[in-house]
Amino acid sequence: MDKNIYLAQFYGKSQNYTQIPREWFTKYGVKRGLRNEDHTGVLVGLTRIADVVGYQRDEKGQKVDCDGVLYYRGIDIRELAKVENYRGYLYEEASFLLLFGYLPTEDELNAFCKVLQNGYDLPDDFLEMNLLRLPGKNLMNKLQHALLTLYNYDPDPDNTDVYQTLRKGLNIMSKLPSIAVYAYMSKVHYYNRKSLVIHYPRKDYSTAENILSMLRPDSKFTPKEAQLLDLLLFLHADHGGGTNSTFTNIVVSSTDTDLYSSMASSVGALKGPRHGGANIRVSLMMEQVIDAIGIKATDEQIVDVIHQILNKKFKGCHDGLVYGFGHAVYTLSDPRAEIMRHYCGILAKEKGMTDIFRFYNRFEKLAMKTLKEEKGVNMCSNVDYYSGFAYNMLGIPRDLYTPLFVISRMVGWLAHNIEHKLYDNRIVRPAAKYVGDLMDYIPRKDR
Ligand SMILES: CC(=O)SCCNC(=O)CCNC(=O)[C@H](O)C(C)(C)COP(=O)(O)OP(=O)(O)OC[C@H]1O[C@@H](n2cnc3c(N)ncnc32)[C@H](O)[C@@H]1OP(=O)(O)O
Ligand SMILES: O=C([O-])CC(=O)C(=O)O
């Protein structure tokens, strides 16, 4: 029983005064979720940073589902991700491309990496004061807190000049891996009573190498492990101007507020389980599914569980969503999930995890089929379906899955923030139609 019975009563009574029937959205031509009737996004900007292709238009302008393609500055990510092209520092190379619009030469990439490496160290006392003394029970909230605190260490924090934004953004990117890893270490030390492990970042390491070396008690990792993490960071680096956390960044920064505030807002958006937070939900959901039916389950058993999830009857999954599936743009496939599936298969063999990888494959196919049957639209596995599986193979704890998304997407948020400042720069301020009644004021004594 709610102790605050009055509040519950007010809330119940308020339904008589505040309801907005769903059909009114159509009546007034409101694009719920900024979506058109066919679920495609309403155009809210122009960008040259990334293109997310999930459907085409036929000659009548009708939407036609297709395999997904993602371009960073016009280059298909599958080209950039090819193993034969791999020379390390893929995430840094893609960051350069996203920020500056062209592929760097070897010298330019080295110089760019130096800028990042020079920013790796945290300000004096930052670790002790903000992370070790103030452990956070949710790492995404802790990252927001840390970002807002970095404001205090900046001698000119409210300067939103484009070049200064670039410098500040790169500084944030350099520091985020240590902040996220230390926030995790602090959390498990204080809440789970584990030993505190603090390794400093190495300036001769890439972002991916540093994350692995700071996270592991012995700091050791193999080149293959670093390559997979580098690839994962690369795959999450940007997703166009319409994705929720990036649009959030544009909305917030269009007020000309400081960069730390805009980035903290994006982290809040990415935390949501319908967005980046889905990677943690997928991992929990799959663990529960495997606990319930085992990896040797038949297809019928898997489909039965998927129906239970959809009907909100499966333990721990009470919102009817099969996490890791569905996308606002992609229909038949998300190219990032395709790439991840491929590399996860290779690493799973090495780590002796082929059985569980095969279970993920079977669940994926059956979930896509069932979702199509139940919802009538194509819903592919998305970037969050395999990422947790990959992180798990790298020994990365679940708490860090969404923070790793932040580390990676920071460059996308920064690139769009800068692009908006340079070429649009109008405060984002759409409209909402008032659909309530007009009422006479009744003096308090007469109500
Ligand atoms: C990095 C990323 O953000 S990738 C996305 C990560 N998120 C997830 O994996 C969470 C699960 N997926 C979802 O919630 C959605 O598919 C989203 C948020 C990603 C996209 O949402 P939208 O494009 O708006 O799809 P929309 O909500 O219109 O879907 C149409 C219908 O399918 C349902 N649906 C969509 N995805 C799923 C899903 N994964 N499981 C079950 N039902 C789903 C919706 O509830 C809706 O049902 P309704 O018509 O009965 O109300
Ligand atoms: O584009 C979206 O809506 C979500 C997504 O996949 C991302 O941000 O990577």
The model's pTM = 0.97
* Positions of CATH 1.10.230.10 in the chain: 278-393
The pLDDT mean for the chain works out to 96
Q: What is the DSSP string of 318-376?
A: -SS--TTB--SS-SSB-HHHHHHHHHHHHHHHHTT-HHHHHHHHHHHHHHHHHHHHHHS
Atom of ligand 2 nearest to the CA of 52: 1
> Tens digits of per-residue pLDDT, 167-220?
999 999 999 999 999 999 999 999 999 999 999 999 999 999 999 999 999 999
Q: Does ligand 2 come within 6 angstroms of the Cβ of 174?
A: no
- Taking CA atoms, 382 is separated from 17, 31, 54, 242, in Å, by 40, 24, 12, 16
Q: Does ligand 2 come within 6 angstroms of the Cβ of 328?
A: yes
Secondary element (H or E) of residue 71? strand 63-72
Q: Does ligand 2 come within 6 angstroms of the Cβ of 81?
A: no
Q: Does ligand 2 come within 6 angstroms of the Cβ of 406?
A: no
The rounded Å distance from CA 1 to ligand 1 centre is: 33
The rounded Å distance from CA 98 to ligand 2 centre is: 16
Whether 136 shows a pLDDT value over 90: the answer reads yes
> Tens digits of per-residue pLDDT, 22-64?
999 999 999 999 999 999 999 999 999 999 999 999 999 999 9
Of the CATH numbers 3.40.228.10, 1.10.230.10, 1.10.3080.10, 3.20.20.140, which one belongs to the domain with range 278-393?
1.10.230.10
Most ligand 2 atoms within 8 A of CB, residue of 47, 239, 330 to mutate: 239
Atom of ligand 1 nearest to the CA of 239: 1
**Residue 83, pLDDT score:** 84
8-state DSSP, 201: -
The reply to whether CATH 3.90.105.10 applies to domain 69-275+399-423 is no
Residue nearest to atom 1 of ligand 2 (CA): 243
* Positions of CATH 1.10.580.10 in the chain: 69-275+399-423
Q: Does ligand 1 come within 6 angstroms of the Cβ of 384?
A: yes
Task: Say how far residue 12 (Cα) sits from the centre of its chain.
Answer: 35
> Tens digits of per-residue pLDDT, 378-412?
999 999 999 999 999 999 999 999 999 999 999 99
Tell me the Cα Rg of the chain: 23
The rounded Å distance from CA 268 to ligand 2 centre is: 15
The rounded Å distance from CA 446 to ligand 1 centre is: 48
Atom of ligand 2 nearest to the CA of 236: 9
Q: Does ligand 2 come within 6 angstroms of the Cβ of 243?
A: yes
Whether 84 shows a pLDDT value over 90: the answer reads no
Q: Does ligand 1 come within 6 angstroms of the Cβ of 401?
A: no
Whether 223 shows a pLDDT value over 80: the answer reads yes
Q: Please give the positions annotated as active site.
A: 327, 384
> Tens digits of per-residue pLDDT, 257-290?
999 999 999 999 999 999 999 999 999 999 999 9
